Amino acid sequence: MYNNVHAPCRGLSPPKLVDLSERMFVNLHKALPVVTSIVIILVVAVVRDRSRTAAAILATMPINMVLALWIVVGTPDATQGTLVTFIQSLLVGLVPSFIWLVVVYVAVRVGWSLMSAILAGYVVWGGLTALAFSMGIFTTTR
């Protein structure tokens, strides 16, 4: 009956339950970091009306780094060395990101619009990130 219902698939067997559960786990493993990020953004949106400090603390939680680490470790070729290199890049990447925040803060403080301040922050961030690449601090090789 299986072959009659699925005539184009004649000769193919239905997927095994083990294969299906593995694929579901892999899909969940890939989707969970994205879903977690969305949930955090929603929580920040709700909490900001009650406490701007709590919203800022939630917004700066190192959750994105944890999710990125999780994604890196989940790759088939992940080793201790790739994890160490990735964490090292995270440490270096925090410097331009922190400076981005300082630029945005200073720009807003002197009266710039939020969009202009953010754009200025990204210009500085991009320049610092490009500088890190040109100095060999960041590389695109494994």
Q: What is the pLDDT of residue 24?
A: 54
pLDDT at 8 over 70: no
pLDDT tens profile 88-138: 888 888 888 899 999 999 999 999 999 999 999 999 999 988 988 888 877
Residue 38 and residue 46 in contact, taking contact as beta carbons nearer than 8 Å:
no
Which residue spans within 1-142 are E strands per DSSP? none
pLDDT grade for 52, boundaries at 50, 70 and 90: confident
Higher pLDDT, 43 or 27: 43
CA 16, CA 134: separation in Å to the nearest integer? 50
| Best CA proximity match to 124, nearest among 141, 92, 93, 99 | 99
Long-range CB contacts (within 8 A, 24+) of 4-13? none
What's the whole-model pTM score? Answer: 0.63
Range in 8-12, 65-69, 115-119 the model is least confident about: 8-12
Phi, psi of 79 (to 5 degrees): -130, 175
Residue 107 and residue 61 in contact, taking contact as beta carbons nearer than 8 Å:
no
